[in-house]
């Protein structure tokens, strides 16, 4: 029912867009109406004025300060544009769907990479290629794994990554020193380190029963869920089976435990409270570790290399423009500033977020996460992929409890993935 309503809305949206395009150049349909000039956003300026509505999920006080600094910089470059910032404190995706259905999206808003394929397919997002071409905005500085998360099946770009993080291996150096263990660089070393660090009170490694962690190991083994053009499901392979068997081996020998087995809400909590010596997480864990909730010391290294080489996952969020935006020119002006080198340098200056561009200074202490950006694979797939995540997560949870096997995991995930292509 939801899909039929969305398709109906898409047809209505296209009709509205056509009407708006007739009324004003660049209006609603998505072409820039100005000409290039100097811009701190990394490309040429366009003629923009009026109010631009920006929305995302609720920012922390620290992020709010950085946002205001970016707003100040933008308004210096575009004095004729006023920003109306409207953060969402509740269910963000639900609020956006309501806006899309009503034909009243914000001009610029966050899009998580996992949602991008669905929203692109439904026609909710404006392709940015005309703006990019006509203003000369340089997209070559974005890490490919982040930018590709917002490419549609037509090859067009529907958002620019505002920040990002890969996965890295967090480890407790005090525990490593006490066990005389070096940071692991291969699967074999990871397994040995986990066993050496495991005690009755401490898990060698906390491992989440989540495709958003396990898939990194699948890639490291040379496996995948789909082929390169997403036309075929490839999960049922020897490479995938090798990765899943390796992941499950930690639970089987007791050197790895899930958050539930540790009594934690997630692996970050288990690591922060020193109930796990290692955890696989991203930049979002660092504010937790540097807060007041735990006592763990920490260091990071890139994820250990698997049989097929290095791999990690790229988690990112874009700034995108609504296909039904009331002021897309002002939207592009803001979007290009926020994702350009000047705006992004402000946003990532405290290390709360990591840059998605190579030409922005790197925050200190994030070397392992930033190194992974060069080879990270985007956490973005096909419309309906949430069903694949659910199928996998349910099956691996059952396997950890002893009621399912690796073959069951492959079968359930393959069936769900096949359903996304039908």
pLDDT exceeds cutoff 50 at 58:
yes
Please compute the mean of the pLDDT values over residues 99-120 and round it to a whole number: 97
Q: Grade residue 21 by pLDDT with cuts at 50, 70 and 90.
A: very low
pLDDT exceeds cutoff 50 at 30:
no
Per residue in 294-334, pLDDT (tens digit) is 778 999 999 999 999 999 999 999 999 999 999 999 999 99
Count of other CB atoms within 10 angstroms of residue 91: 11
Residues 6+ apart with CB under 8 A from 296: 172, 271, 272, 273, 274, 289
The better pLDDT of the pair 376, 5 is held by 376
Please compute the mean of the pLDDT values over residues 268-285 and round it to a whole number: 97
User: What pLDDT is attached to residue 399?
Assistant: 98
Please compute the mean of the pLDDT values over residues 51-55 and round it to a whole number: 98
Please compute the mean of the pLDDT values over residues 70-81 and round it to a whole number: 96
Please report, rounded to a whole number, the percentage of residues in the chain having pLDDT higher than 70.
89
pLDDT exceeds cutoff 80 at 358:
yes
Q: Grade residue 35 by pLDDT with cuts at 50, 70 and 90.
A: very low
Please compute the mean of the pLDDT values over residues 248-272 and round it to a whole number: 98
What does pLDDT average to over the chain? 90
pLDDT exceeds cutoff 90 at 49:
yes
Per residue in 220-231, pLDDT (tens digit) is 999 999 999 999
User: What pLDDT is attached to residue 291?
Assistant: 85
User: What pLDDT is attached to residue 40?
Assistant: 53
pLDDT exceeds cutoff 70 at 292:
yes
Going 146 to 151 to 153 to 155, the CA torsion angle's sign is negative
User: What pLDDT is attached to residue 41?
Assistant: 53
User: What pLDDT is attached to residue 3?
Assistant: 39
pLDDT exceeds cutoff 60 at 411:
yes
pLDDT exceeds cutoff 90 at 123:
yes
User: What pLDDT is attached to residue 60?
Assistant: 85
């Amino acid at each position: 029912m939801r899909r039929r309503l969305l398709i109906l809305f898409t047809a209505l949206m296209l009709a509205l867009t056509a009407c708006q395009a007739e009324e004003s150049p660049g209006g609603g349909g998505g072409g820039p109406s100005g000409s290039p000039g100097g811009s701190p956003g990394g490309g040429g300026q366009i003629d923009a004025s009026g109010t631009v509505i920006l929305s995302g999920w609720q920012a922390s006080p620290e992020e709010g300060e950085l946002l205001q600094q970016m707003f100040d910089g933008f308004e210096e470059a575009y004095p004729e544009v006023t920003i109306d910032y409207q953060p969402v404190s509740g269910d963000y995706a639900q609020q956006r769907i309501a806006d899309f259905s009503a034909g009243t999206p914000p001009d610029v808003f966050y899009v998580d990479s996992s949602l991008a394929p669905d929203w692109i397919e439904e026609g909710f997002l404006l392709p940015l290629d005309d703006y990019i071409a006509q203003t000369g905005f340089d997209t070559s500085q974005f890490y490919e794994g982040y930018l590709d998360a917002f490419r549609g099946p037509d090859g067009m770009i529907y958002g620019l990554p505002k920040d990002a993080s890969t996965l890295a291996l967090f480890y407790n150096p005090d525990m490593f020193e006490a066990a005389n263990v070096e940071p692991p660089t291969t699967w074999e070393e990871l397994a040995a380190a986990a066993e050496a660090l495991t005690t009755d009170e401490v898990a060698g490694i906390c491992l989440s029963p989540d495709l958003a962690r396990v898939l990194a190991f699948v890639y490291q083994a040379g496996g995948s869920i789909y082929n390169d053009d997403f036309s075929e499901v490839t999960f049922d392979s020897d490479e995938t089976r090798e990765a899943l068997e390796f992941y499950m081996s930690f639970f089987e020998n007791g050197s790895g435990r899930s958050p539930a087995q540790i009594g934690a809400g997630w692996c970050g909590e288990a690591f922060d409270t020193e109930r796990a010596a290692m955890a696989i997480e991203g930049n979002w864990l660092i504010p937790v570790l540097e807060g007041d909730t735990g006592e763990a010391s920490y260091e990071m290294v890139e994820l250990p290399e698997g049989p097929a080489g290095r791999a990690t996952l790229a988690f990112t969020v874009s700034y995108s423009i609504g296909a039904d935006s009331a002021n897309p020119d002002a939207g592009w002006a803001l979007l290009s500033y926020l994702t350009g080198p000047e705006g992004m340098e402000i946003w990532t200056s405290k290390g709360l977020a990591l840059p998605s561009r190579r030409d922005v200074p790197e925050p200190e202490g994030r070397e392992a996460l930033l190194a992974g950006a060069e080879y990270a694979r985007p956490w973005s797939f096909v419309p309906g992929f949430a069903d694949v995540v659910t199928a996998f997560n349910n099956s691996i949870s059952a396997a950890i409890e002893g009621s399912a096997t690796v073959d069951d995991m492959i079968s359930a995930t393959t069936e769900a993935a096949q359903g996304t292509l039908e």
